[in-house]
Amino acid sequence: MSGATRTDGDRRRRAAVLGSPIGHSLSPVLHRAAYGELGLHDWSYDRFEIDEAALPAFIGELGPEWAGLSLTMPLKRAVIPLLDEITATAASVEAVNTVVCTEDGRRVGDNTDIPGIVAALRERGIEQVESAAILGAGATASSALAALARVCTGEVVAYVRSEARAAEMRQWGERLDIEVRTAPWSDAEEALRAPLVIATTPAGTTDALAPSVPERPATLFDVLYDPWPTDLAARWSAYGGAVVSGLDLLVHQAVLQVEQMTGIVPGPVDAMRSAGEKSLAARQDGR
C-alpha cells in the first residue's frame, strides 16, 4: 500500500468519469467494484455528461473532496491546458484520460490507456513481438502505437483509409521512435498475418475482414467490447488465435486509475473484470 493512501478522515472521496456521450461508460461499474473490494465504502464514483465547453468550469470547481477523474472523448486533449502538469506518457500522445488531484491541490494528467494495453498483452503472455499491424488511425491508434513502442522490436504497419491519416500515423511513429509503414485499407487483409494485430476501428468496420482470418492466426487485440465478440474476434477465436478484448484494456487502464487515485497497489483486477463482464452480459440480455 502506497503512502498516498487516503485515510478515513480524508475528505477526498469523490471520483467520476467525464465525457460526451457518457451514458454507455462502464467506468462507474469498474471503479465502484474496486472500492467495494478495497473496503473504501465512503468513496463514490459518478458519471457526468461534459463537453469541451463545459469542462473548464467543472475542473475549476473541483473541491478538496475530489480524488480524481477519468476522461473519455472528446476531453482527452481539451483538458491538458487546464492541468498543472501532465506525465511524459500523456505528453507522448497529447492525450489525458486520467486526472489525479494530489494532496497539495495540484491536478496531474496521465494516460493509463498506453500501459493498460501493455498490461493486457502481458496478461496473455505477450511481452515482445517482432512486428505488428494496426487497423485504423484514430485517437486509439496513437495510444496503440505508443504501447507498441514498448513491446514491438520491428516494423508496425498501419492500415488506413486516407493519405491524411497515413501521414498522421507516420508522424506519430517518428515522435514515438517506432518504425511505422502505412498501407491502404484495401490491403487490410494482409494485416491478419502479423504476429500481433490491434484493431482500433469503430463497430462493424472489421466485419468484412473476418472471412480472411488465416488458419493459424497469432494474436488479435480488438479494442471494442460492446457488442462482443466482433465478427473478426469470433472467427479469430474459432481458428485458435489468441484474442484480447476491449474489456481487457478497459479493466487494466481503470486498475491503474484506481491505484493512482486511492494510493492502494495493486488494484483489484479480478473484481473489476468480473463486474465489467456481468454488466456487459446484462446489457446484452436486455437487447
Kindly list the catalytic residues. 76
Q: How far apart are CA 67 and CA 11, in angstroms?
A: 9
The residues pairing with 107 across neighbouring beta strands, listed in sequence order, are 101
276, containing H or E segment? helix 269-285
CA atoms within 13 A on the CB side of 82: 23
The residues pairing with 27 across neighbouring beta strands, listed in sequence order, are none
C-beta of residue 143 within 8 angstroms of C-beta of residue 175:
no
Backbone angles phi, psi at 5, to 5 degrees: -60, 135
Backbone angles phi, psi at 65, to 5 degrees: -80, -10
Q: In 3-state terms, what secondary structure has residue 221?
A: strand
Q: In 3-state terms, what secondary structure has residue 18?
A: strand
Q: How far apart are CA 251 and CA 71, in angstroms?
A: 15
C-beta of residue 89 within 8 angstroms of C-beta of residue 28:
no
- The three three-digit cell numbers of residue 85, written as one number: 502538469
Contacts of 140 (CB under 8 A, 6+ apart): 113, 200, 223
